[in-house]
Structure 1
Amino acid sequence: MSRNNDVQPTAVNLICDGTSIKGDVQASRDIRIDGYLNGKMQVNGKVVVGNTGKIEGDINCKTIDVSGRVEGNIIASEMVNLKSTALILGNIATDKISVEPGAKFTGSCKMGEAAPAKDEKKK
């Protein structure tokens, strides 16, 4: 069987603690950041920002779990999970959000595309 046909459904990209990357990142699979990234992220799967992870830049993904620090806007088409150690400095747009006690979030949150329009009609 050709190596090009082998699929690793559980493969995850990993940026380890102590690693710094400057530039935009595009990934078709899940990615975990335990190091530092200065740039935008476009991920077709799940993003995990570990306790030691720090991202300075906007993130666009399906789902994201944040235990570390994100300084930028997050657009997640499915779900945002903010763990108790998370620090978010930026806006969030998502379908669903989960915030554990202790998580810090400075910015606005928009859930679903119809939510603002409904609020405006009630006024």
Structure 2
Amino acid sequence: MATKNSSTFSVLGSDLAIKGDIQASADLHIDGSVEGDIACASLVQGETSTITGAVKAESARFAGTVDGSITARELVILKTAKITGDVFYDALTIEQGAQVEGRFAHRDARKTGAVPTQPAKTEIPVAN
């Protein structure tokens, strides 16, 4: 028996390649490739996934490749992630080994227009 409060979760498998924007009110898990902008409540990206376009989500967890800007309230960048683009966040966690080339800015700074002027190339080495 389904209830109205049950949350919806959409999965784009590793065999899927999508060209076009995605807008979802549900949580989204992407293992395939997306060429377009993504807007959703919560996003989880698999290690083999590639996203080319802007991402906007309340919470996001990246493990694959992203080429585009990211805006999220709660953002987690895992050690396997490779991100090229500006990152706007409220809360940020970056695992050791993640690679990000772009600018980081707290979302409050973005609202006031105070975005860092120098791009930062961040590569966090993995300790063996």
Into which bin does the TM-score normalised by the smaller protein fall? Answer: 0.7 to 0.9
Identify if the C-alpha distance between structure 1 residues 107 and 114 changes in structure 2 by more than 3 Å, giving closer, same or farther: closer
Greater Cα radius of gyration, structure 1 or 2: 1
1:106 corresponds to which residue? 101
Q: TM-score scaled to structure 1, two decimals?
A: 0.84
Q: How does 1:1-123 map to 2 (within 5 A)?
A: 6-7=3-4, 9-43=6-40, 45-76=41-72, 78-114=73-109
Offset of residue 10 of structure 1: 3.7
| Distance change (3 Å), C-alpha of 1:8 and 1:36 | farther
For 1:10 and 1:82, the matched residues in 2 are separated by: 24
Say which structure is richer in helix: 1
Cα deviations by residue, 1:12-55 (Å, 9 ceiling, x for unpaired): 11100011000000000100100000000111x11011111110
How far the C-alpha of 1:56 sits from its partner, in A, is 0.3
Structure 1: which 4+ aligned runs deviate by more than 6 Å?
A: none
Amino acid paired to 2:69: N
Distance (Å, rounded) in 1 between the aligned partners of 2:35 and 2:47:
17
TM superposition score normalised by structure 2 = 0.81
What displacement does 1:112 show? 3.5
Q: Work out the CA distance in 2 between the residues paired with 1:114 and 1:39.
A: 26
Aligned length: 113
